[in-house]
Structure 1
Amino acid sequence: MNQSSIPAVWMRGGSSKGLFLLAGDLPKYERERDKVICRLFGSPDLYRTQMNGIGGATSSTSLVAIISESEDPEFDVEYVSGSVSIDTDVIDYSGFSANLSAAVGVFAVEQGLVIPDKDGGYCVKILQSNINRQLNVYLPIKDRQPLVSGNFPISGVSGTGAPIKVELLEPGLGKLGRVLSTGQTSQLLDVPGFGEVAVSLLSAGGNTVFVRAADVGLQGTEFARDIESKRETLNLLELIRCIAAVEMNISPTIEFARSHQPSSPKVVLVAKPQAFVSAQGQTITAQEQNICCRMLSGGLVHHAYTGTAAIATSVAAQIPGTIVEQLAVREEESESCIKIAHPGGIFAVDSSVNEKGGFWVAEKATFTRTARTLMIGEAFYMD
């Protein structure tokens, strides 16, 4: 045969979709494993369509989840998350998809990796291997299977589903769980050809660069097409991202960040709460949001908002002096549930943030998603 196949499950988790694979079905060595995954997705593709694979050609649909049973008795399963580049043969493992985490819980039960002992609420304990943190995914169970149908809507996804609570423990990725990547609430980056740009660099859930939308000539209410039509703005934001990656010590050079880590850090454009019409035609008022944001991943504007960026935004909103905190509107300083407005609507994240020993840390972050299996079968790739 000139094609090979591998057992695969295509799933939606939150506002993302990904290919779920069991680690035992993949080649043992990382280089060979990643070659197979790229071929499954149809990458690299200079047409940026992934037409010769199953990838969806966007940052939220070109994701892989590699699942295995955990050898650690503290966890049920282990979850490796990869962002598959569209036009190169690179898979970025420097961050993870928090949206897909909800689907990891569903997958674990449906595949028999976890067997609930009763109906009702059930917690699947997941080791998120990319960042070495614990995820708790709380599933509604009926007849010992995940209940995925329900009336809970999430922005960025048509239809409704059963609510699935996702809880990330100790989301701070810095030393001793610190959430400020450089220890500063905000700082200036020197961007060649542009000048100085104020940013806040957060390592909470995922590595994230926050920039005032106004500082790069935007309002913060634009849709993807509005921003992506401005090639100079996209190039500027990518350069800011790469400079920030070096500043955050997650990339050795700007070029390495550009070529090998296209999905981390994320870039978030921040603005004060303001009314706009969502992608579904609904009016989002300023009163129902704490902050208005647009987010880029893999060089493209996300149609909604990633879970990791939402965690970082929620944390940043509670730390005095960050760009997010300066622009956010909260009724009380103790308000921990931050409602983030994005092109698809509102993403609410509740995070517990405290200052300890002069450093900011986060104990946990919680949000609610929906998830379901879309396809089970064999995925083919060219030998």
Structure 2
Amino acid sequence: MPHAPQIRIPATYMRGGTSKGVFFRLEDLPARCQVPGEARDRLLMRVIGSPDPYGKQIDGMGGATSSTSKAVIVAKSSRPDHDVDYLFGQVSIDQAFVDWSGNCGNLSSAVGPFAIAAGLIDAARVPREGLCTVRIWQANIGKTIIAHVPITDGQVQETGDFELDGVTFPAAEVQLEFLDPAAEEEGAGGAMFPTGRLVDDLEVPGVGTLKATMINAGIPTIFVNAADIGYTGTELQDAINGDPKALAMFETIRAHGAVRMGLIAHPDEAVKRQHTPKIAFVAPPCTYVASSGKTVRAEDIDLLVRALSMGKLHHAMMGTAAVAIGTAAAIPGTLVNLAAGGGTRQSVRFGHPSGTLRVGAEAHQVGGDWKVTKALMSRSARVLMEGWVRVPADSF
């Protein structure tokens, strides 16, 4: 009986922020996978090891969590004033689909370093020492990200003393600017607040009517108050991920919020749109012990935030959700802003399951509508392995 050979495809396995994924140059993919479609999706699922009914992704590069079941495709940009186009795929672990509906803010920090190392940036643009500015077109959501990548001796600097809660070892800091982060193509004509309100009464069958801030910034996100759903905001992963009823409740809230945001027409459609919107809950500052064992003191943070990704409580915070948090915190009257004590602010430090994170946002009103020109945060990135990934030739 004939057997399909394995083919090998150039790839780089990278950590970016608190996520990691498999990075490809578009030109290195098989020809039929260089365009969107079933072949590309099937290839990336096979690379990552999905769909896996065991939920382990043993036969692939995925790590069986939403933070580690990711793929990135990067190409030289044809757009003016941009260096590269960046496309992100969130690969479902146990189902056969790749969600292209949003960005990964954490892996955004690895795109600049990857592009430089992969020869996608003009060598004349890379300084011998200092910072290399990489202008990234985020193709999923049609937004610009500017990455400031440290360079030492003409090469990307990956090691350093920048510490990021949720990542065990220090590394070099990569500063990111998310320009005009409100998602124009998402919901209600592209409004930052698709319902037209900073806080809504969201009716959720079986749960009740919840106060909710639904925002399109970084990634579509639904914020609710922790106290309204029986939590304190200090919860770690096991408190929620080990509770099927809690996970079902969050998914129900997410699905009905997605309908109100105009992202889907019916709650049942949410099952095929796991990556967006995100669901998060907020609370005022409180001292707690993070998953690392470190004590996070109430006086060192502005508020508490917990967020779910792909149906599970995230171990730290998604980068795109951090953009949503920073943006909402900058706008007086949102639930995020109120949890942080209200008023105007240009930055916020919040507590998450692994520790703390600071994110900034520049917000102002134009004709009565809120606009955010940019959100800022720091991450780190590192190449874990590079070479080729192998997949059976008949898998895509």
Band of TM-score, shorter chain: over 0.9
- Structure 2 distance, partners of 1:373, 1:317, is 33
Among candidates 294, 297, 321, match of residue 333 of structure 2: 321
Aligned to 1:207: 220
Q: Counterpart of 2:130?
A: 120
Q: In structure 2, what residue type is equivalent to 1:268?
A: A
Partner secondary structure for residue 78 of structure 1: strand
Matched, 1:250 2:260: no
Q: What is the Cα deviation at residue 25 of structure 1?
A: 2.5
Contact 1:76 1:124 (C-alpha < 8 Å) held by counterparts: yes
Shift of 1:117: 3.8
Give the superposition deviation at 1:15: 0.7
Q: CA deviation at 1:159?
A: 1.2
- The CA deviation at 1:178 is 3.9
CA separation in 2, counterparts of 1:239 and 1:20?
33
Deviations 1:237-260 (A, max 9, x none): 1011011111111223212221x2
The alpha-carbon distance between structure 1 residues 117 and 103, as it changes in their structure 2 partners (threshold 3 A), is closer
Residue matched to 1:88: 95
Alignment match, 1:366: 376
Q: Which amino acid aligns with 1:4?
A: I
Deviations 1:187-214 (A, max 9, x none): 1122112221221101001100101111
By how many angstroms is 1:340 displaced?
Answer: 1.4
Q: Which moved more, 1:303-312 or 1:24-33?
A: 24-33
Q: Which stretch of the first structure deviates more once superposed, 31-40 or 226-235?
A: 226-235
Instruction: For structure 1, list consecutive stretches of 5 or more residues without a partner in the other structure.
Output: none
Quote the Cα distance in structure 2 between the aligned partners of 1:3 and 1:247. 46
Return the alpha-carbon distance in structure 1 between the equivalents of residues 162 and 339 of structure 2. 29
* Partner of residue 324, structure 2: 312
Q: Contact (CA 8 Å) 2:330, 2:347: kept in 1 or not?
A: no
CA deviation after TM superposition for structure 1 residue 231, in Å: 1.3
Matched, 1:74 2:49: no
Displacement of 1:335 after TM fit?
Answer: 2.6
The one-letter code matched in structure 2 to 1:28 is Q
| Cα offset, 1:177, TM superposition | 6.5
Where does residue 52 of structure 1 map in the other structure? 59
Please give the alpha-carbon distance, in whole angstroms, between the structure 2 residues aligned to 1:285 and 1:329.
Answer: 16
Query: How far does residue 90 in structure 1 lie from its aligned partner after superposition?
Result: 1.1
Higher alpha-carbon deviation: 367-376 or 317-326: 317-326
Counterpart of 2:174, as a letter, is: I
Cα distance, 1:41 vs. partner? 0.8
Q: Which residue of 1 aligns with 2:250?
A: 237
**What is the deviation of 1:2?**
3.3
CA deviation profile, 1:246-292 (whole Å, cap 9, x unmatched)? 1111223212221x210111111111111001111111011111110
Secondary structure at 2:66 match in 1? coil
Runs of at least 5 residues in structure 2 that lack an aligned partner in the other structure: none
Structure 2 counterparts to residues 130-279 of structure 1, below 5 A: 130-174=140-184, 178-258=191-271, 260-279=272-291
CA distance in 2, matches of 1:145, 1:177: 39
Per-residue CA deviations over 1:300-340 (Å, capped at 9, x if unaligned) read 1110001111111111112222111221136xx34311101
Contact 1:310 1:340 in 2 (8 A): no
- 1:80 counterpart letter in structure 2: L
TM-fit CA distance, 1:112? 0.8
When the two chains are superposed, the root-mean-square deviation of aligned CA atoms in Å is: 1.4
